[in-house]
Amino acid sequence: MRNLGEALERVTRVAGIRGAMLVAESDGLVVAEALAEGLDGAAVAALAASLTLRLRRTATSAGLAVPQVVQLRAERGTVLSVPAGDDLLLVAVAERDANLGLARLELRQAAAQLGS
Amino acid sequence: MTDPIRELTAQLASDPQSLVFLELGEALRNRGQPAAAYKVARMGVNRYPELAASHDLLARVLADQGDRHAAAEAWRRVLELSPGHIGANKGLAFLAFRAGDPEGALPFLESALGAAPDDEGLAVAVQRVRAALDGAAARATAAAEASAPSALRGAEGFEPFEDARGVVLLDTQGLRLAGTVEAPDGSDVSDAVAAHLQGVSREASRAARLLDLGAWESVTAESPDGHLLVLPPTQSTVLLLLRDARVPVGRLGLIGEQAARAARHWLERLA
């Protein structure tokens, strides 16, 4: 579990990240979370898992491999999702002005840390 | 009946140095195969960089695809190589009008008229634009659009900008409105992709709303062999772009914005 906490902390340390969580991809349930106050973890998990699954199916139907990053961009922020091992997604919610380049990097490294 | 594109392709294959690529590129445009037309035009420009006609073909293909900046650049190159080129002047006038700049279009129309003084259509267009500039700018736009090259009118604008990997516009029921998407193996997967994307707009919208992020702007999926971008040009349509993984996602976003603008123009014309 120490590994899990470290992985989430690694992501949430990035400026502008409101929270990170580990989600079961198949059912969209929260496995672990480190979220700012006001963020509904269950909603983030379910929505991120559902959207990621839809994009994965779309990518596969287009003849592409499984996406390594899925990103929902909205007016006031961004949701990032990366695969983190068997049936798991590492998800982060970022503010509009967050450093998304750094956030993506940390997410992928944290996901690799979890998968190892 | 023989297929002219097949014939032209065979001619080009047997004599790669020939100028038949000009005819082939135009035929592909007319048949609504912009990605293939782009490849032919780009090949022609690489092979004949000093030939005005090769840049003119490339400009028309780029204009079809809605890439106005690159189209204008190509037409300006045509004018460097062939000052007074009628097609380039008409094309630049068209682009200026599309950008809402009738005043900027007038010099190009006048140059075209100077090179083709017997062209009644151009003469009328110049007169109308001059008159319109004295009055309502909106009337100027309409007059000049009527004088634009006919091949550039209509539903141009949201086919692939840089390679053959495609873009597709869907309605909210997952039905394809326009465009095609090809898998890396070249097969057409447009309808399969459309079916899987059905509902993505609603889902992205719901996710953004529930997380208090405002309206959704785009969804990106990055695979090792390709990048997907989904965005909503309008509330009732979804646009999907598929690009090679070498295209950075930031740049893909910019391409997507251009494509969305072109899609909105196209939808307005259909309305």
- In this complex, which of A47, A61, A68 lies closest to B224 when CB atoms are compared? A68
How confident is the model over B83-93, as pLDDT tens digits?
Answer: 888 889 888 88
CATH of the domain at A75: 3.30.450.30
Q: How far apart are CA A109 and CA A7, in angstroms?
A: 8
Q: Residues 183-212, chain B: which have Cβ within 8 Å of A?
A: 183-185, 187, 189, 192-193, 195-197, 199-200, 203-204, 206-208, 210-212
pLDDT of residue A2: 57
Question: E strands within A1-116?
Answer: 17-24, 30-35, 69-74, 77-83, 88-95
B214 CB within 8 Å of a chain A CB:
yes
Please give the DSSP secondary-structure letter assigned to residue B123: H
Confidence check: pLDDT of B218 > 90: yes
Interface probe with A: pick from B165, B211, B216, B246, most Cβ of A within 10 Å: B211
A 10 A CB-CB count for B199 gives 15
Contacts of B217 in chain A (CB under 8 A): 73-75
Mean pLDDT calculated for residue range B236-253:
86
Contacts of B220 in chain A (CB under 8 A): 69-71, 73
How confident is the model over A83-110, as pLDDT tens digits?
Answer: 998 889 999 999 988 998 999 999 999 9
Residue type, position B51, single letter: L
> A46 lies in which domain range?
2-115
- In this complex, which of A39, A67, A73 lies closest to B223 when CB atoms are compared? A67
Domains of chain B: 4-152 (1.25.40.10), 167-270 (3.30.450.30)
Share of chain B above pLDDT 70, in %: 85
Residue of chain B whose alpha carbon sits nearest to that of A79 = B208
Confidence check: pLDDT of B198 > 80: no
Q: How far apart are CA B224 and CA B70, in angstroms?
A: 28
How confident is the model over B78-125, as pLDDT tens digits?
Answer: 998 888 888 898 888 888 877 767 778 888 888 888 888 877 777 877
Confidence check: pLDDT of A37 > 70: yes
DSSP secondary structure of B191-260:
HHHHHHHTTHHHHHHHHHHHTT--SEEEEEEEETTEEEEEEEEETTEEEEEEE-TTS-HHHHHHHHHHHH
Unique residue bearing structure tokens 């490294």? A109
pLDDT of residue B225: 87
Count how many domains chain A has. 1
How confident is the model over B9-26, as pLDDT tens digits?
Answer: 998 888 888 899 999 998
Q: How far apart are CA A102 and CA A14, in angstroms?
A: 7
B249 CB within 8 Å of a chain A CB:
yes
Q: Residue B271: which residues within 8 A CB-CB, separation 6 or more?
A: none
